[in-house]
């Protein structure tokens, strides 16, 4: 029998601990969070918000042969580039697909790996109340290895600055610091886990799009971005017009034109002339952008598109963009 989905514990964004004794440090993997439930030779894969994504990653069925008892694992699905670095852009080519024919086609070019970093249940026993140190020891004992499809990377105790600097040299997204004595708090964001990023990235809502010009004529020129305003509405936080491949632009254009609505979710927040040029969509899709800070009028500065995040729920995007 398959164990039930366990909502994953979430990290806060912050700085390296001043005293890193008692902390574990591991890379921030730049993938999508996936909880794997195994039992009776079956597998179910769940996104961070509880959507079933098993069909998107059929190669991870290898997990059923690696664990002989029911278990719930926490980790990230990652696509690695030819140099062995996580590549979120590559993963974008897989994470939206659900039809078997589309997944098979995409797998020819983009393989994924399940990077496992926590154990939430084992053989009917809830392990979330154990310290991280003990959960990781149990996880290591499972010896989950499968020709690049499954990895259980180690962690470094202390030496947080060295790990941070090493991940920056390697071009990784950052590090996650975790208290070795921390219990696992399903569905909660806890300061027992701290993500420290090399670039500032934000989850934002897609509110609309502007038509392209020149070589982008007939497709998307820029995406209009918003965040919750904390009072039940939305606030405009700028737009993003860089970071798109031609393939992504085509996908977004098809998606947005099929969803276009007449009413602006940002009424009165844009210059009237600019607002007339925007094609609005329901603000139900989450995207990720990187940026260099905020302008005086609370717009994202130098935003660059990283991709849509179908693994995230629009209702859970925080006003501060965590």
Query: What residues are labeled active site?
Result: 28
List CB contacts of 315: < 8 A, sequence separation 6 or more.
Answer: none
For residue 261, give the DSSP letter.
B
Alpha helix stretches (DSSP H) within the chain: 88-95, 100-107, 132-141, 160-169, 246-259, 272-277
Q: Residue 238 — left, alpha, or beta (φ > 0 → left; ψ -120 to 50 → alpha)?
A: left
List CB contacts of 175: < 8 A, sequence separation 6 or more.
Answer: 16, 25, 26, 27, 28, 160, 163, 164, 167, 195, 196
The answer to whether 93 and 41 are in contact (CB under 8 A) is: no
Look up tokens 């140099």; give the residue: 83
Query: Can you tell me the distance from the alpha carbon of 322 to that of 319, in angstroms, rounded to the nearest whole number?
Result: 8
The answer to whether 60 and 43 are in contact (CB under 8 A) is: yes
Q: Identify the three-state secondary structure at position 187.
A: coil
Query: Can you tell me the distance from the alpha carbon of 160 to that of 150, in angstroms, rounded to the nearest whole number?
Result: 25
List CB contacts of 178: < 8 A, sequence separation 6 or more.
Answer: 11, 23, 24, 25, 26, 132, 155, 192, 193, 194
Largest CA distance in the chain: 63
The answer to whether 46 and 5 are in contact (CB under 8 A) is: yes
């Amino acid at each position: 029998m398959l164990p039930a989905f366990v909502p994953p514990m979430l990290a806060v964004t912050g700085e390296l601990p001043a005293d890193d004794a008692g902390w574990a440090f591991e890379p921030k993997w730049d993938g999508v969070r996936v909880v794997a439930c195994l039992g009776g030779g079956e597998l179910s894969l769940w996104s961070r918000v509880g959507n079933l994504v098993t069909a998107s990653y059929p190669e991870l069925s290898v997990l059923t042969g690696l664990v002989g008892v029911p278990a719930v694992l926490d980790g990230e699905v990652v696509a690695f580039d030819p140099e062995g670095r996580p590549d979120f852009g590559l993963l974008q080519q897989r994470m939206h697909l659900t039809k078997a024919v589309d997944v098979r086609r995409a797998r020819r070019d983009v393989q994924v790996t399940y990077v496992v970093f926590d154990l939430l249940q084992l053989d009917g026993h809830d392990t979330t109340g154990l310290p991280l140190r003990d959960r990781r020891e149990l996880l290591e004992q499972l010896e989950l290895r499968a020709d690049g499809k499954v990895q259980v990377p180690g962690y470094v105790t202390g030496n947080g600055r060295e790990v941070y600097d090493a991940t920056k040299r390697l071009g990784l997204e950052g590090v996650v610091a975790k208290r070795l004595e921390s219990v696992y708090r399903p569905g909660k964001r806890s300061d027992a886990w701290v993500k420290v990023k090399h670039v500032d990235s934000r989850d934002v809502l897609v509110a609309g799009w502007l038509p392209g010009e020149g070589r982008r004529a007939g497709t998307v020129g820029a995406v209009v971005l918003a965040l919750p305003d904390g009072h039940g509405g939305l606030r405009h936080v700028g737009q993003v017009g860089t970071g798109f491949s031609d393939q992504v632009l085509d996908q977004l254009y098809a998606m947005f034109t099929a969803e276009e609505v007449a009413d602006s979710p940002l009424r009165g927040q844009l210059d009237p002339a600019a607002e007339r040029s925007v094609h609005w969509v329901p603000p139900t899709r989450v995207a990720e952008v990187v940026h260099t800070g905020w302008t005086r009028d609370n717009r994202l500065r130098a935003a660059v598109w990283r991709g849509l995040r179908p693994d995230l729920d629009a209702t859970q995007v925080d006003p501060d963009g965590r």
